[in-house]
């Protein structure tokens, strides 16, 4: 579920950015009293995500605008499917259109791409994870869309868990030193995940007591060796250069999780149009 107040804060900021002191085009053409409707139409196949955000954008400009949804987040849609319809003052509909559509297209694009990765690894037992490679300020929405698409969330922020990456290792002077320092300061409920780049580092991470090991940018052969070496003692997360073309082969190496930054940093926006009629 999305936190409505958090969504409204994001939308208010976006509307302020887009509207500035006013929508001079719409205000020049309309008196402000004209009524009409607008339909959001899918132009391609997609998993829809962000319908509550879409409707909220219009409601913030005019609470009397009526929003009818003809599907729900997570539905798979075909081209020409009508997602939702807005009825009310045309001025408010036109002024909120870009913000509402931008977010609906982005979130549906993320959900759709996530769904493709989930489908590509079906039957392997692997979880598809997102990363923190999100648009600043939109993380709550981006990660929501990943869940809608069937994926799972990694950390929301730096306070959500311990993930020791290569720069942390370099700063600490090594894998063992990094884990020792974290163990000394972190409370007993926190698990420690550490990034490794080769089998030597995997062995070091195991010996130092890592709870989760990330296999970063390893070849398929290296990942298979790492899986055999770890032998189920700790969960393994594969990361780096994951694509739809190779994700199945990565999953079949026997890892538990695959994190994919592309879910949120490179998902193509879903093709959705808002078509307005008067009266």
Stretch (H or E) spanning 259: strand 257-259
Helices 175-185 and 199-208, axial angle in degrees (round to 10): 30
Q: Which of 195, 201, 237, 256 is catalytic?
A: 195
Distances (CA, A) of 155 to 54, 81, 162, 258: 26, 34, 9, 14
Q: Where are the alpha helices (DSSP H) in 173-261?
A: 175-185, 199-208, 220-230, 247-251
Q: Which of 97, 216, 237, 256 is catalytic?
A: 216
* Helices and strands (H, E) in the chain, number of each type: 11, 12
> Catalytic annotation on 98?
yes
> Catalytic annotation on 33?
no
> Catalytic annotation on 8?
no
How far apart, in whole angstroms, are the C-alpha atoms of residue 213 and residue 125? 18
Q: Which of 116, 133, 203, 248 is catalytic?
A: 133
> Catalytic annotation on 142?
no
Q: Which of 8, 87, 116, 165 is catalytic?
A: 165
Q: Where are the alpha helices (DSSP H) in 84-219?
A: 90-120, 139-148, 166-172, 175-185, 199-208
How far apart, in whole angstroms, are the C-alpha atoms of residue 49 and residue 189? 33
User: Torsion-angle region of residue 158: left (phi > 0), alpha (psi -120 to 50) or beta?
Assistant: alpha
> Could you tell me the two tokens for 108?
């549906």
Q: Which of 8, 12, 87, 98 is catalytic?
A: 98
> Catalytic annotation on 165?
yes
- Report CA torsion sign: 128, 241, 134, 74: negative
- Tell me, rounded to whole angstroms, the distance of Cα 275 from its chain centroid: 27
Q: Buried b / exposed e across 115-133, counting CB within 10 Å, b at 16+?
A: bbbbebbeebebbbbbbbb
Catalytic residue numbers read 98, 133, 165, 195, 216
């Amino acid at each position: 579920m999305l936190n409505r107040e958090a969504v409204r804060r994001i939308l208010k900021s976006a509307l302020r950015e887009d509207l500035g002191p006013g929508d001079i085009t719409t205000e020049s053409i309309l008196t402000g009293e004209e009524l009409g409707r607008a339909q959001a139409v899918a132009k391609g196949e997609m998993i829809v995500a962000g319908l509550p955000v879409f409707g909220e954008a219009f409601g913030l400009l005019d609470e009397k605008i009526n929003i009818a949804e003809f599907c729900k987040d997570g539905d798979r849609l075909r081209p020409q499917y009508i997602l939702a319809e807005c009825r009310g003052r045309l001025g408010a509909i036109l002024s909120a259109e870009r913000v509402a559509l931008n977010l609906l297209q982005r979130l549906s694009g993320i959900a759709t791409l996530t769904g493709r990765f989930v489908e590509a690894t079906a039957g392997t037992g692997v979880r598809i994870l997102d990363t923190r490679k999100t648009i600043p300020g939109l993380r709550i929405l981006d990660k929501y869309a990943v869940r809608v698409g069937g994926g799972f969330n990694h950390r929301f922020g730096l306070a959500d868990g311990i993930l020791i990456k290569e720069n942390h290792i370099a700063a600490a002077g090594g894998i063992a030193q990094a884990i020792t320092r974290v163990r000394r300061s972190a409370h007993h409920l926190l698990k420690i995940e550490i990034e490794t780049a080769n089998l030597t580092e995997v062995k070091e991470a195991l010996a130092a007591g890592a709870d989760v090991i990330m296999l970063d940018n390893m070849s398929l052969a290296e990942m298979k060796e790492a899986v055999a070496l770890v032998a189920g003692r700790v969960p393994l997360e594969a990361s780096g250069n994951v694509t739809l073309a190779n994700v199945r082969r990565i999953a079949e190496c026997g890892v538990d999780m695959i994190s994919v930054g592309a879910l949120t940093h490179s998902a193509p926006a879903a093709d959705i149009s808002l078509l307005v009629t008067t009266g």
